[in-house]
Amino acid sequence: MKYISTRGPRGLDIRQPVDFSHAFLNCLCADGGVYVPAYAEDLRPWIMYMDENTPFQSIAGSLTSALIKEEFSPIISEAIANQAFPFSPELKKLDNNLYALELFHGPTGIHKDFGLSYLAACLEHVLLMKDSSALIAAPTSGETGASIAHALRGKKRVKAILMYPKDSMRGIDDADCVWNGGNVYPVEVNGTIADCVDLSRRLYADDEAVKKYGLTLANTVNIGRLLPHTFLYMYAFSRLRKQVYSDIFYAMGSDNYGNLAAGLYAWKFSLPVKGFILDSSSTLSCDARGKCCMPDSIVPLAKRGPADPGRPSNVERLEEIFAESAAVMSGLVYTAPVSEEETAAAFRRLFEKYRYFAAPGAARAYAAALKRNGISGGEDSCLVLVAAEDPSLHANTMRLWCGEEPPKNERLIALSEKMKPAKKIESDIDSLIKIADEISHL
């Protein structure tokens, strides 16, 4: 498969396709856009071959081979999937028409584990073939840093600088730090998360630094981080296809449009799906007729800034998909405004009826689906809630909503404990460059 930028040189619609390896190693397009698939692959032969007995590793390996066959052999594709996924999503049946696709069974309890682990495995393979190395610089104040550290564990050619705002470092094993032979350099920045994000922007804006250190990104600006999330929908369908004979809808929270973009790519790759439901936001909402719309799209691409390496957005990817057909936006994506009270009520409904603890994002998604019941409700449809985070990460909120907390996840308890940073820097680019220099000589 080839990839193109969402933008053309100097605003023109002239887009040169690149290989997957180029797209995820050099993920910041020179024209300011982000990479998207240049065309849709028909994966029906693979999709219809999979069933409830097909392990997630096999699904990921087969689809990697199908999507990146020009670069990765079937053996390499399977090796990447096996290395990336010692963990798997789970599909929980709540009733005959309601399921939960749980994406939090990775090492740090968040859906990002899937994309980051896959990205790290692909990077290691390609860099080995090129006899090269890469560096990631990521602002973080929570689970993302721990997820990156876990994904890079044991890798020989990829390292990461993790920038934490003051008094927020947590979730890092000492053995993963570069000064102990590991792959990550966690550093406390004397500032806020906004300062860390700004440092990331300034570093990636420096073309000389990008080239010198082999900088790439671990967020969803990088198509290599987003692509594996399409496998999650394929996995869900493999478990549903012999149980459900009705229309399938997926509901997800609006706090992550990467999951929506991945779902739409899965649809373009021939995944059977009737629609996607989200709670409304300022980015994706519904018009007076109840149809999905993107208010910010009125701003032409030529008048927008380049893709932000510090704050990933998949808006342009959604626009790219919707631009192919207006019917896609109005007939495949559905939104509904959801209040905090409606979110809490949706959570309580899931809890009281199924004893299911839904993290806030999944609860908002369920609330939106209830409000769009005319689309997804009834015996002739099946709703799959995309549960992106371990509910134990939101135990306090759930106690307020229902008086109980979800079971503790022992794996995640240590990740929540704050650490005393071994390295500290001021919020200036020279300090960050100095760390990049230090890592490059290790």
pLDDT, tens digit, for every residue of 278-326? 999 988 888 877 788 887 777 777 788 888 998 888 888 998 888 876 6
Angle of CA points 157, 417, 403, to nearest 5°: 125
DSSP string spanning 27-87?
A: -S-TTS--EEESS----HHHHTT--TTS-HHHHHHHHHHHHSTTTS-HHHHHHHHHHH-SS
Q: Are strands 275-279 and 285-286 parallel, antiparallel or unpaired?
A: unpaired
Token pair of 442 as six digits: 């290790």
Assign domain 3-110+225-394 to a CATH class.
Answer: alpha beta
pLDDT at position 172 over 90: yes
Domain 133-213+419-440 has CATH 1.10.357.10: no
Supply the pLDDT for residue 296. Answer: 72
Number of H helices and E strands in the chain, helices first, is 19, 15
The burial class, CB within 10 Å (0-12 / 13-18 / 19+), for 119 is: buried
| More confident call, 73 vs 283 | 73
- Each domain of the chain, given as residue ranges in start order, spans 3-110+225-394, 133-213+419-440
Supply the pLDDT for residue 294. Answer: 81
Place of tokens 């919707």: 322
- Per-residue b/e over 388-416, b at no fewer than 16 CB within 10 Å? bbbbbbbbebbeebbeeebeebeebeebe
Supply the pLDDT for residue 107. Answer: 95
Residue 415's nearest CA partner among 147, 104, 103 is: 147
Residue 54, CA distances (Å) to 47, 61, 322, 392 in order: 11, 11, 32, 29
Q: Cα(62)–Cα(81) distance, rounded to whole angstroms?
A: 9
Q: Cα(38)–Cα(254) distance, rounded to whole angstroms?
A: 26
H or E element, residue 252 = strand 247-252
pLDDT in tens, 340-384: 999 999 999 999 999 999 999 999 999 999 998 877 666 788 999
Residue 203's nearest CA partner among 138, 120, 132 is: 138
For residue 285, list its beta bridge partners.
293
With bands split at pLDDT 50, 70 and 90, how would you rate the model's confidence at 7?
A: confident
Q: Cα(346)–Cα(293) distance, rounded to whole angstroms?
A: 24
Share of the chain above pLDDT 70, in %: 97
Intrachain domains 3-110+225-394 and 133-213+419-440 with the same fold: yes
Asked if residue 253 lies in contact with residue 86, where contact means CB atoms within 8 angstroms, the answer is no
Supply the pLDDT for residue 10. Answer: 39
Supply the pLDDT for residue 377. Answer: 67
Q: Cα(160)–Cα(150) distance, rounded to whole angstroms?
A: 11
Q: Cα(271)–Cα(234) distance, rounded to whole angstroms?
A: 7
pLDDT at position 440 over 80: yes
Residue 423's nearest CA partner among 193, 195, 187 is: 187
Residue 254's nearest CA partner among 364, 144, 373, 385 is: 364
pLDDT in tens, 118-132: 999 999 999 999 999
> To the nearest whole number, what is the mean pLDDT of the chain?
92
Supply the pLDDT for residue 14. Answer: 56
Helices 56-67 and 229-240: crossing angle in degrees, nearest 10, is: 120
Cα–chain center distance at 326: 25
Q: Cα(415)–Cα(69) distance, rounded to whole angstroms?
A: 37
Q: Cα(316)–Cα(324) distance, rounded to whole angstroms?
A: 13
Residue 150's nearest CA partner among 209, 213, 218 is: 218
With bands split at pLDDT 50, 70 and 90, how would you rate the model's confidence at 11?
A: very low
